[in-house]
Structure 1
Amino acid sequence: MRSIWRTLDRALARDIGLVCLADCLVGVSYGAIAVGSGFPVWAPMVMSLLVFAGASQFMFVGIVAAGGNPFAAVLAGLLVNTRHLPFGFAIGDVFGKRWGARLAGSHLMSDETVAFALAQDEVRRRRAAYWACGLGIFVCWNAGVLVGAFAGSAISDTDVFGLDAAFPAVLLALVLPSLRDKAARLPVLLGVLAALVATPFLPAGLPVLLALVGVLAGAAAREPKPQPAPEPEPQEAC
């Protein structure tokens, strides 16, 4: 654990701290929404500890609060979290080879932790950024949910405070630096376009999955084109 904090420089630690603070505010929003929607105080806290997936937790609460089937809400949450499959392939080197570390790292996986890890050039810094961000968000998220759950009756209308905008604002701030790379702009634009077109027609959460077409387009664009075989040099006659 000490090696993780020694690897982080001041700027990276500051950025991780700001993201943790923003996620704490989103956790307050989630706890307040859950309790204000009729869930008992303990429900959002248990979900945050065992599930630890903000988008899926918000979706579950929203579907059940609207009268939907809890099993359908669970299935929708699992569908939203399928994006973690490509995440795992992209950052598998940060977990090491021990199964305990892999299980813990998988539980701490989120959009923010993956973004911070992929932004680092060295494996050592990738590992430090991932674990520092993951542990920090886990603590801050659950602390925020605890506060929001007990204060749900007071701040049940999160639109008044704008807390529901903190999560997308954090993700936007993480993505913007990547747009300096021309190769990254096409996947981002295609993903945004697919999500915007699908939003009026599909349930919440599914348009985000459709945005993965941008990833496929980016992977196809980065595939090296086959080079023509070099022509054999003419051999001199003996």
Structure 2
Amino acid sequence: MAEQTAPPQSAGPDAPVTDPGKPDGAVVRDALGVGIAVGLSGFAFGVTSAGSGLTLLQTCALSLFVFTGASQFALVGALAAGGNPYTAAAGAFFLGIRNAFYGLRLSQLLALPRPLRPLAAQWVIDETTAVTLPQPTRRAARIGFTVTGLTLYVLWNLTTLAGALGAEALGDTGTWGLDAAGPAVFLALLAPMLRSSTERVTAGLAVLLLLGLLPVLPAGAPVLVSALAAPLVLFLKGRGTGPGETPTEAPTAPREAR
């Protein structure tokens, strides 16, 4: 009945579908749940970074200015393994570049005023994207993005500081396995977003490349090579599409938004 009395007001395919049924409180509750759960893993990054030889200032600067957990863990992990700093930085960069593609989609959903966009760009990460995309309205999307980003940014930086300060008390950080906390959280959030078979095949191939090349290539390099999984799968899929066929697994924007 709600759809009959309150039809969608937006005309473009990239505009959120109007659904007044979800209250603001529910959006805030979901956003806080993600922000708090993931923000606590900043402690693991602080411990791992300090145990890898980075100073307190360097560790906190990474969380303040880089603020993308998987890239941060990749960088300090490669450095701890004795990898070249340039290779480690390149691996972290290519992991973080996915946020630019998130930004293309979120900019359409949020439609923020131009002066706010550079500030909002700092919060375009996996978690804010995961909370924002399913929201039924632009208002809900903005609330989800803001609450998730603010909660996660503040808590991640506070726990990074606490972890770096407590690293000395923990001793050998490698024995605690805390370096796996960040990637584990990232994978837990990523897995539900792999909806099509193409996405699953790409992710599986990337994992196989990464694990197979770890003993062979220097630290940081396997991450770079695993990124080749995406263009390889797309190339093979394109060759398998006949001249009269169209790919059936390309979701439209409204389906992704649901």
| TM-score past 0.5 threshold | yes
Q: Is the 8 A contact 2:44 2:182 kept in 1?
A: no
1:55 aligns to 2:67 (yes or no):
no
The code of the aligned residue for 2:213 comes to F
The 10-residue stretch of structure 1 (52-61 or 197-206) with the greater mean CA deviation from structure 2: 197-206
Tell me, yes or no, if the aligned pair for 1:31 and 1:44 is still in contact at 8 Å. yes
Aligned partners of 1:190 and 1:214 also within 8 Å: no
Instruction: Tell me the amino acid that sits aligned with residue 114 of structure 1.
Output: T
1:160-179 maps to which residues of 2 (within 5 A)? 163-175=178-190
Deviation per CA, 1:85-134: give whole Å up to 9, x if none: 32122211244353331111111111011111111121221121111111
Match of 1:155?
Answer: 170
Q: Does the 8 Å CA contact 2:90/2:224 hold for their aligned counterparts?
A: no
Which AA in structure 1 matches 2:103?
G
2:25 to 3, 9, 23: 9
- For the 8 Å contact 2:39–2:156, the answer to whether it is kept is yes
The answer as to whether partners of 1:95 and 1:101 remain within 8 angstroms in 2 is no
Structure-2 separation of matches of 1:159 and 1:22: 22
Which of the numbers 206, 209, 215 marks the counterpart of 2:227? 209
1:29 Cα deviation from its structure 2 partner: 0.8
Q: Quote how far apart the aligned CAs of 1:175 are.
A: 4.8
Instruction: Tell me the number of residue pairs that the alignment of Structure 1 and Structure 2 aligns.
Output: 214
Superposition deviation, residue 169 in structure 1: 4.6
Q: State the Cα distance separating 1:31 from its structure 2 match.
A: 0.7
Pairing partner for 1:198 from 209, 221, 230? 209
Residue 136 of structure 1 pairs with residue 151 of structure 2 = yes
Contact 2:167 2:173 in 1 (8 A): no
Correspondent of 1:110 among 106, 125, 128 = 125
1:152 Cα deviation after fit: 0.8
Give the superposed CA RMSD. 3.2
Select which of 237, 248, 257 maps to 1:221. 248
- C-alpha displacement at 1:141, in angstroms? 0.5
Alpha-carbon offset, residue 16 of structure 1: 2.4
Give the letter aligned to residue 168 of structure 2. S
Question: Counterpart amino acid of 2:84?
Answer: N
- Give the drift of 1:138: 0.4
Specify the alignment match of 2:58 in structure 1: 43
Q: 1:15-55 CA distances to partner (integer Å, 9 max, x unpaired)?
A: 32232233233211111111112211111101111111112
Give 1:109's aligned amino acid. Answer: V
Give the C-alpha shift of residue 196 in structure 1. 2.5
Question: Could you tell me the TM-score, scaled by structure 1's length?
Answer: 0.75
Question: Do the aligned partners of residues 73 and 173 (structure 1) sit closer, same or farther apart at CA in structure 2, a change above 3 Å counting?
Answer: closer
Alignment CA distance shift 1:17-1:169 (3 Å) = farther
Q: Deviations over 1:2-25 (max 9, x none)?
A: xxxx96323x33332232233233
Distance 1:35 1:8 in 2: 39
